[in-house]
Amino acid sequence: MDVNAAVAAAAAIAGLCTGVIAMLAFRWSERDQKKPTRTSLRPDSNAPLPPGVDTVLSVLSSSAVVLDESDGVVKASSAAYALGLVRGGRLAVEPMLNMARDTRRDGEIRQVELDLPRRGTGRGEALAVSARVAPLGSRLVLLLVEDLTEARRIEAVRRDFVANVSHELKTPTGALSLLSEAVMDASDDPEAVERFAGRMQIEATRLTNLVQELIDLSRVQNDDPLEDAEPVRVDELVAEAIDRCRQQAGSKQITMAAGGTAELRIWGNRGQLAAALGNLVENAVNYSPARTRVGIAARRVAVPGGDEIEIAVTDQGIGISEKDRERVFERFYRVDPARSRATGGTGLGLAIVKHVAASHGGEVTVWSSEGQGSTFTLRLPEAGAVRERDRTSGGPLIVNGDEAAYPAATPDTLDSFPAPEALP
């Protein structure tokens, strides 16, 4: 009997302890649920949100902040914290706080656009926002903030593009108008007529090239190149680019040489890829002094998710300064405007290359040193399955029966490319 009594007493004590622990856990859980969070109601607020407002605010794309009568933050979305609107439980932007106070006083809806300092950059970059304040019930004020930074950037790019197009079109059309008047005035001077007609032909060609490149840029921006994608041989693209610039290179005694790995293929739109590589080679020729070399080399590189193809175009030209390297892919931007005018450049070639590379899932990069030359490198996904091959720095490229070793893509190694007579 003593043993049974002891067992019963122990069981009673264990049950009592279990009940006490469960009660303490329940109390602790209730206390945790009442702790304030960034997106929950403040426990010390005397102004609860009207029914349904919390749900509506949670699905808004705008940054939302709800203020009580003492300017305390009742609720704030995570986006509001990310933009730096709320700090330490208070609205940190003084103009918005003043708007909220005015709206609480007279009940009118207010809206304003502001430029706010961007947090954490240290470069003075402005964050463009649109703030709208409205009363929420009798004691609360709702602030909605839209980030307009990207929209303003796109609008600025659009304005610049329109202005640049207008300027670029006005130059050759104005020249054609003046030259036509000069031809009419010099109708009794055959030599002058011939000279002015030659200038008219140059300006007409420039205008035609500009319109064509605008069409090409619009096409690569709006079309999906993978709709008409096919495996494209890299050596054929290189041969087309060399043929396109052979006359210009010959007039300056520039040697064009090809090297790298044979039988490489890229998956994409053949016309766009040919235009992109042709633009790179044409720029290399145009910006190179006489009696120098331009090299085009291709190789396969291993990357996570599948191999890619690198096509490097290297010249021994004037080079690009560090500040210009950041902008060479912008539309209508020219490193040397005088040289571009002399060669008929439109300033759109590298922008087209950038868009073609991006739309094909690749990228284009530039290395350059002033006075030494530049190397533009296209990196694009390879077409088809990866072949078993030697993964060294590149195999031979057979050009008219001759082997050309793949050199490093710097101007100092261009002497290792084959002689021009070995090219197709």
Q: Find the Cα–Cα–Cα–Cα dihedral 161, 162, 166, 168, rounded to 10°.
A: 10
| pLDDT, position 352 | 84
Report the alpha-carbon angle 358-361-366, nearest 5: 55
In this prediction, residue 125 carries a pLDDT of 65
Q: Does pLDDT of 257 surpass 60?
A: yes
Report d(CA 81, CA 19) in Å as an integer.
42
* The residue to which tokens 């009580």 are assigned: 68
Q: Which residues of 56-70 are buried (b: 16+ CB within 10 A; e: fewer)?
A: ebeeeebbbbbbbee
Distance CA 79, CA 235 (A): 50
Beta pairing class for 255-260 and 293-301: parallel
Least confident of 153-167, 199-213, 289-303: 153-167
* Nearest one of 399, 117, 145, 119 to 257, comparing CA atoms: 399
Q: What is the predicted pLDDT for the residue at 314?
A: 92
The confidence band for 407, taking pLDDT boundaries of 50, 70 and 90, is very low
- Tens digit of each residue's pLDDT (9 = 90 or more) over 1-26: 455 565 556 555 655 555 555 555 54
Q: The tokens of 202 are what?
A: 């140059």
Q: Per residue in 367-406, pLDDT tens?
A: 988 888 899 999 998 876 333 333 333 443 333 333 333 3
CA dist 312 and 277 (Å) reads 9
The answer to whether 111 and 130 have CB atoms below 8 angstroms apart is yes
pLDDT at 313 over 90: yes
List the one residue out of 85, 73, 86, 84 whose CA is nearest residue 36. 73
Do residues 296 and 238 touch, judged by C-beta distance below 8 A? yes
What is the pLDDT at residue 399?
Answer: 32
DSSP conformational letter for 242: H
User: Residue 122: pLDDT above 70?
Assistant: no
0.85 surpassed by pTM: no
Top pLDDT among 106 and 405 is at 106
Which three-class secondary structure string do you get for 265-328? Answer: EEEECHHHHHHHHHHHHHHHHHCCCCCCEEEEEEEEECCCCCCEEEEEEEECCCCCCHHHHCCC
More confident residue, 86 or 387: 86
Is residue 51 scored above 80 in pLDDT? no
Q: Which pLDDT value is given to residue 281?
A: 92
What's the pLDDT score for residue 176? 85
Per-residue pLDDT tens for 188-244? Answer: 888 888 888 888 888 888 788 778 777 777 766 666 666 677 889 999 999 999 998
Q: Is residue 420 scored above 80 in pLDDT?
A: no
Contact 63, 85 (CB under 8 A): yes
- Residue 27 — very low, low, confident or very high, per pLDDT cuts 50/70/90? low
Q: Note the pLDDT of residue 35.
A: 45
Predicted pLDDT at 23: 58
Cα(12)–Cα(10) distance, integer angstroms = 5
pLDDT at 37 over 50: no
Give the model's pLDDT for residue 263. Answer: 85
Quickly count helices (H) and strands (E) in the chain: 11, 16
Which of 202, 87, 96 is CA-nearest to residue 144?
96
Round the average pLDDT of the chain to a whole number and report it: 75
d(CA 315, CA 411): 6
Is residue 316 scored above 60 in pLDDT?
yes
What pLDDT does 218 receive?
A: 72
Can you say whether the dihedral through the CA atoms of 154, 159, 162, 168 is positive or negative? negative
**Using CA atoms, how far apart are residues 223 and 423, in angstroms rounded to an integer?**
34
CA 6 to chain centre: 78
Token representation of residue 353: 């290359």
Q: Environment class of residue 348 by beta-carbon count within 10 Å: exposed (0-12), middle (13-18) or buried (19+)?
A: buried
| Helix residue ranges, H only, 77-146 | 78-82, 94-106
pLDDT for residue 387: 38
Residue 317 pLDDT more than 80? yes
